[in-house]
């Protein structure tokens, strides 16, 4: 993954043929042209849970139509970080009740969530390159 600067507060990540664009909001000095990096991080939690929920439905021949996940963030102002994340898997009334606990179990398999719960080691360094 290559991270590079695209002007003002824009920071892009390029990998596997994709470019993920981020920017800061106008009130943060950016142009507000893309989500902020932290917003993408939060979105990755919900979309990761979503792919596991969708996979569960697909593997059982259940329709995922009408299912949505509402993600709620509670901010801890004292420690200046997210204090709690709630994922509410909303299903239509036609969804079989017997699978509701299994949907929660599927969402809990999310790799992003697991990485937060057991964080990796970080190695941040600088390298001087000839230009």
Q: Range of 16's domain?
A: 1-35
Q: Are residues 52 and 88 in the same domain?
A: yes
Q: Are residues 43 and 26 in the same domain?
A: no
pLDDT at 49: 98
13 confidence band (pLDDT: 50, 70, 90): very high
Does residue 130 belong to any structural domain of this protein?
no
How many domains, in total, are found in the chain? Answer: 2
Q: Tens of pLDDT along 64-118?
A: 999 999 999 999 999 999 999 999 999 999 999 999 999 999 999 999 999 999 9
Cβ contacts of residue 89 below 8 Å, gap of 6+? 49, 53, 67, 68, 69, 103, 104, 107
Going by C-alpha positions, the residue among 41, 73, 57 that lies closest to residue 107 is 57
Q: Tens of pLDDT along 16-40?
A: 999 999 999 999 999 999 999 999 9
pLDDT at 60: 97
The rounded distance, in Å, linking the Cα atoms of 49 and 108 is: 7
pLDDT at 93: 97
Going by C-alpha positions, the residue among 43, 23, 14, 45 that lies closest to residue 108 is 45
Helix crossing, 37-59 with 100-107: angle to 10°? 140
Q: Are residues 27 and 40 in the same domain?
A: no
Q: What is the pTM of this model?
A: 0.88
Task: Give me 37's structure tokens.
Answer: 């990096």
Q: Tens of pLDDT along 42-77?
A: 999 999 999 999 999 999 999 999 999 999 999 999
């Amino acid at each position: 993954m290559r991270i590079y600067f695209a002007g003002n507060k824009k920071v892009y990540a390029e990998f596997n043929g994709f470019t993920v664009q981020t920017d800061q909001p106008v009130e943060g000095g950016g142009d507000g042209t893309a989500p902020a990096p932290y917003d993408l991080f939060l979105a990755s939690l919900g979309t990761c849970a979503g792919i596991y929920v969708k996979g569960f439905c697909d593997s059982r021949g259940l329709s995922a139509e009408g299912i949505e996940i509402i993600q709620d963030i509670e901010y801890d102002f004292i420690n200046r970080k997210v204090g709690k994340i709630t994922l509410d898997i909303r299903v239509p009334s036609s969804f079989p009740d017997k699978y509701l606990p299994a949907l929660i179990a599927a969402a809990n398999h999310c790799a992003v969530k697991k990485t937060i719960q057991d964080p990796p080691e970080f190695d941040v360094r600088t390298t001087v390159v000839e230009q």
